[in-house]
Amino acid sequence: MGRQYNLGYNGFTHDVNEGVSFGDMDRAFGAQGSSTRMDNSFKYVTPSLSGFKAGIAYGNPDTTVTRINGASKSDRSNHLSTALKYESGPLFVAASYDRASSSLDNAITNWAIAGAYDFEVVKLHLAYGQDRYGKLGWANEAKDLYEKLIGTYSLGKDFKSSNYYVGLSAPVGAGTLVASWSRSSSNLDDSDKWGDKAKAQNIYHVNYKYPLSKRTSVYAYGSYGTGVGYVDGVKVKEAGVGLNHKF
């Protein structure tokens, strides 16, 4: 009970994600890949039953304030999150669904299916999902970007997107080398919306993780993205190194 991760992220489709920072799966999938939190929520996850595990969560956040044309308006929203996964040996398969509603606009919904299979020499990671009326987890980020580069914009109304993730990971030396590609295409490039100002988002990513011990590892990564935030002409390059310690 309390402030919980949604089920799409916490132990379900997120298990397929091998990206780091800008190459993370959440850049395309929103709530299904990112650490979206649910305030005032109840969550239950079953024990593993012959490899199957299911979960459900419901949150009813405190009153939120949303700015509309410069004015403030109070609203109470709710968030439902469900997921089912199967894991046995080298195979992992999962599906998740999130719905966040309020009185201000249509309920934001997204779903995803994801899977991974370890061929020992290389491990394949795949995911596909769709969003309607917005993207949980990074709606404000995309909205702000559009307002700066294009003009007044809302992710609500009839927005929809399709999201893809493909990743390959393989042992190299004592570490693991990862290469991935994520894509999110939307209907924003329809002629009656933004026309040629909008574009599908594509992000290419590589990283290498090297364990120093059972709980500590170091990593290095690089990412390149085009059409970021669905805006034509927006490109991102990122590289970094880091250290991860699990307490």
Task: Identify each DSSP E strand in 102-212 by its residue range.
Answer: 108-118, 123-132, 160-172, 175-186, 201-211
What is the predicted pLDDT for the residue at 67?
Answer: 47
Of 37-46, 63-72, 233-242, give the range with the top mean pLDDT: 233-242
**What's the CA angle centered on 10, arms 8 and 13, to 5 degrees?**
45
pLDDT exceeds 80 at position 156:
no
What is the predicted pLDDT for the residue at 76?
Answer: 59
- Domain containing 55: what range? 2-245
Over residues 41-66, the pLDDT tens digits come to 899 999 999 999 999 999 876 554 44
pLDDT exceeds 90 at position 225:
yes
What mean pLDDT is predicted for residues 146-166? 66
The helix/strand/coil state of 146 is: helix
The tokens of 245 are what?
């310690």
What mean pLDDT is predicted for residues 224-232? 87
pTM of the model: 0.82
Of 10 and 121, the one with more pLDDT = 121
> What amino acid occupies position 227?
G
Contact assessment for residue 200 and residue 184, using Cβ atoms and an 8 Å cutoff: yes
Percent residues over pLDDT 70 in the chain: 77
Of 90-104, 179-193, 225-239, give the range with the top mean pLDDT: 225-239
Q: What is the CATH number of the domain that holds 167?
A: 2.40.160.10
Distance CA 81, CA 98 (A): 4
Of 73 and 19, the one with more pLDDT = 19
Distance CA 220, CA 238 (A): 11
pLDDT exceeds 60 at position 11:
yes
Using alpha carbons, list the distances in angstroms from residue 142 to 191, 215, 216: 20, 35, 34
Cβ neighbors of 205 (< 8 A, separation 6 or more) are 19, 20, 22, 23, 178, 179, 180, 181, 182, 221, 222, 223, 224
pLDDT exceeds 50 at position 151:
no
| Count of domains observed in the chain | 1
